[in-house]
Structure 1
Amino acid sequence: MNVETITTPGGIDLAFDRIVGGDTGTVILVGGAFSYRKFPKMVELAQKLADEYGLTIVNYDRRGRGDSTDSPGVYDVENEIDDLAALVEAVGGKAAIFGWSSGAGLALLAAASRRIPGITKVVAFEPPFITNHENFVPPADLAATLHEMIAADRRADVVRYYMANAMGMPRLFAAIMRLTPFWKGLLATAPATAHDWAIMGPYMRGETLRPDDWASVEVPTLVISGGKSGALLRTAARAIADVLPNARHEEVTKLSHNPNIELLAPVSGEFLVGAERFAA
């Protein structure tokens, strides 16, 4: 597989892999915090959707990850929507969007922007909205602290800080990640967490989601949560599905935020190809 690249009107080089499975449609995969196109589960999901559902999958590096370039110090969700618009245009002008975690937030905001008329469907897997104060709410100064760490290239600190303070992971878990094989990838993508926060920060304050903010997401949307995920993510999935005008929510038993692709792919693929159970 040869990597493809485009340069967006904003001057960002985006790298992506295209996996051609058939003629049932094109789907762009949008990863979340610390994710990139070579992340093993993104690769596995791409291949499975192509092989089993005849979809053409575009798996790209968001800005600041993998082989894509970045805009250091400039963190604005509108820029990532522009990136996605350029990518949709480059792969044929029409595509469904599958987003995971903050990537799901980006997919929904892109659809809400109405700046990408080529979006045909959205699959949002566990967007991490925080709609109450029952579990965890990030600190109010998170953006300032995060930007300071990134500017100083304190990557290990960024990983630990973002995991504990933006994602709500136990601090011990964040600390022991440096002992795992994933640590190198976490350090490489750490600066891009500022983009994730630009997307999700306004919706992680413990406030109820407002229907007016999402009324323009008119494309068919599937919100997926896992039965093994924490209460925060399961609540978030129900909350966003409730305010979207054309959405349904599916909770998959035994699925978690670190998903088993054998469980995630079928519900996603069936929705994307218009299987009968999603026709109503």
Structure 2
Amino acid sequence: MPRTAAHPVTEYTAVSADGTVIAAERSGDGPPLVLVDGAMCHRASYGGRPLAALLADRFTVHVYDRRGRGSSGGAGASWTVERELEDLAAVLAAAGGSAVVFGTSSGAVLALRAAAAGLPVERVVAYEPSFAVEAGLQAEQRAALAAVERALADGAPGRAVRLFMLLVGLPRVLVALLGVLPGAAARRAVAPTLPHDLRIVGADGDGLLRLDWAGITVPLLLLAGGRSPEASLVAPARTAAAAVPGAEFRILPRQTHMVAPAALAPELAEFAAAGRTAVT
């Protein structure tokens, strides 16, 4: 992300409930907005920095490395969904006590879980929450979780990455090249967190995301890309919007799961600012 004089970036740490140190940064000026990355992403690797740069004119944007990634601690057996919620709670506390939360993919599901759990979330914007709606896709996610965990147990993080990328629909010809394409080492380094993302979206057990939708009482915007596959990425967003009274659902034309920050930022900014406008 460009470090401009207008919006300098301040790095900080937040301490989670179990003592794990979560690395984060903030930039911009305005009401707080927390960005939650999806699988394999953190601040230095395909994370929220480019989006934060586009939002910093209107918000104080917080981006953090989820547990076990980047500069954050908490790798290994300490992970549970509850720990990740506590990590987000620590970032929200550092952001001033409450904030609008945006998440993408598994990060979108984490944001939904946070709202359902009663964390101090003012509004949620979720881009393509990657839980499985159809039984066949639920079975695929369960099988992928088992296969990824076997690969990691075998000391083969590169294989774990390839298995995960096949699950999310990357063409096989590209999956075969992942080991030699730029960023291969970074992908292998973050591979141990892949089971975490699969569990967040409900791939363990029967593969069904069990979330207290009725517990989400804050304003909610679900987004999906117009070029994303309906069954695996658009349908979950539609389903979540239908499950929460008053939730909004929008399609971003010409976008895929790898949404362009420039296409996402206006929708996110409008919805995030709406609550403040209503109050004032």
TM exceeds 0.5? yes
Of 59-68 and 186-195, the range deviating more from structure 2: 186-195
CA distance in 1 between counterparts of 2:101 and 2:225 reads 19
Unmatched tracts of structure 1, length 5 or more: none
Unmatched tracts of structure 2, length 5 or more: 1-8
1:30 is aligned, of 33, 36, 51, to 36
The amino acid across from 1:256 in the alignment is T
Residues 8-41 of structure 1 show CA distances to partners (whole Å, capped at 9, x for unaligned) of: 1212110011012x22x11111000111012346
TM-score, structure 1 normalization:
0.87
Tell me: CA distance 1:204–1:229, structure 2 relative to 1, closer, same or farther (3 Å): farther
Identify the residue that residue 216 of structure 1 maps to in structure 2: 215
Residues 126-158 of structure 1 show CA distances to partners (whole Å, capped at 9, x for unaligned) of: 011211146674253443433343344421011
Identify the residue that residue 4 of structure 2 maps to in structure 1: none
- For residues 1-280 of structure 1, the aligned pairs below 5 Å read 1-20=9-28, 22-23=29-30, 25-40=31-46, 42-51=48-57, 54-114=58-118, 116=119, 118-133=120-135, 137-138=139-140, 140-165=142-167, 167-202=168-203, 213-231=212-230, 232-274=232-274
CA distance in 1 between counterparts of 2:276 and 2:87 reads 33
CA distance in 2 between counterparts of 1:254 and 1:277 reads 29
Q: Is the 8 A contact 2:141 2:198 kept in 1?
A: no
Give the secondary-structure state (helix, strand or coil) at the position aligned to 2:212: helix
Residues 205-232 of structure 1 show CA distances to partners (whole Å, capped at 9, x for unaligned) of: 676x77x721111100110001011122
Tell me: CA distance 1:141–1:135, structure 2 relative to 1, closer, same or farther (3 Å): closer
Q: Is the 8 A contact 2:40 2:193 kept in 1?
A: yes
CA distance in 2 between counterparts of 1:91 and 1:144 reads 37
Give the secondary-structure state (helix, strand or coil) at the position aligned to 2:91: helix
RMSD: 2.6
Q: CA deviation at 1:253?
A: 0.5
CA distance in 1 between counterparts of 2:275 and 2:97 reads 23
Tell me: CA distance 1:77–1:218, structure 2 relative to 1, closer, same or farther (3 Å): same
Q: CA deviation at 1:3?
A: 2.2
Aligned residue pairs, count: 270
Give the secondary-structure state (helix, strand or coil) at the position aligned to 1:201: coil
Give the secondary-structure state (helix, strand or coil) at the position aligned to 2:122: strand
Give the secondary-structure state (helix, strand or coil) at the position aligned to 1:194: helix
CA distance in 2 between counterparts of 1:268 and 1:137 reads 32
Q: Is the 8 A contact 1:98 1:124 kept in 2?
A: yes
Q: Percent identity?
A: 34
